Amino acid sequence: MINLLPPIEKEKFILEKKQRIAYRILTLLLFLVFCVNIVALGFNYYLLEKIKQEQSVLTSIKEELSRTPAQEMAEKAKSANKNLKDIISFYKEKIYYSEILEEISKIIPSEISLTNLSIFSEKKKNEGQTIKVSLSGFAPTRKSLFYFRKKLKEAEFFRNVSFPPSNWIKPTDIDFSINFEVKPKTIKEK
């Protein structure tokens, strides 16, 4: 192949070729620097997160090591005291149903039979704990039911004794129901 270009044009052509190669190399170098910077930033972020994690672990270990056995015992004692207060509170509010049943059995006449007995506790903000009792049963005569009502009202163990009017309609073979409350502080604490 014969090159018919004048020497100035040849030099221009070679210079342009070298410039294009230089631009390509420069572009590749800039891209390489950009990629290296991105990798370095990612690695930097990773290292910062690892350092934060290690610092938090180190801080917790320092706190754990700075605690003395006396402090640990004090914390355990506080926890045990709180649990003990909860247990005492639970037992103070405990209802002894056997005492309620014993008081009812002392009062109830032998000819009256009970068919249903419900005892439940209700907490009121101002009054504290109220124990309510609901009885239903069978009385052969109105006289025995009057006697039972009288004994309930006289007992210092009970209050707010309520006999519905429907209990007094029949003179014999009476199915009755009674509602009353147990007076507070009458149940003995064990």
* Greater model confidence, 65 or 117: 117
How sure is the predictor about 125, in pLDDT bands with cuts at 50, 70 and 90? Answer: low
Which tens digits make up the pLDDT trace of 137-167?
Answer: 999 988 998 898 899 888 888 888 888 888 8
How sure is the predictor about 87, in pLDDT bands with cuts at 50, 70 and 90? Answer: confident
The answer, yes or no, to whether residue 186 has pLDDT greater than 60, is no
The answer, yes or no, to whether residue 1 has pLDDT greater than 70, is no
The per-residue pLDDT for 185 is 61
The per-residue pLDDT for 41 is 95
Over residues 177-184, the mean pLDDT reads 85
The per-residue pLDDT for 76 is 87
The per-residue pLDDT for 190 is 45
Please state, in angstroms and as integers, the Cα–Cα distance from residue 60 to each residue in 67, 69, 129, 168, following that order. Answer: 11, 17, 46, 76
Beta strands in the chain (DSSP E): 113-124, 128-141, 158-162, 172-182
The per-residue pLDDT for 127 is 65
The per-residue pLDDT for 129 is 74
Q: Using CA atoms, how far apart are residues 94 and 131, in angstroms rounded to an integer?
A: 11
Domain boundaries, the chain: 7-55, 97-182
Percentage of residues in the chain having pLDDT higher than 70:
92
Whether the Cβ atoms of residue 140 and residue 173 lie closer than 8 Å to each other? yes
* Greater model confidence, 52 or 4: 52
Q: Using CA atoms, how far apart are residues 56 and 54, in angstroms rounded to an integer?
A: 5
Instruction: Compute how many other C-beta atoms are within 10 angstroms of the C-beta atom of residue 133.
Output: 21
In three-state secondary structure terms, 63 is helix
- How far is C-alpha 79 from the geometric centre of its chain's CA atoms? 18
The per-residue pLDDT for 104 is 87
Mean pLDDT of the chain: 85
| Domain at 97-182: CATH architecture | 2-Layer Sandwich (3.30)
The answer, yes or no, to whether residue 86 has pLDDT greater than 60, is yes
Which tens digits make up the pLDDT trace of 17-57?
Answer: 999 999 999 999 999 999 999 999 999 999 999 999 999 99
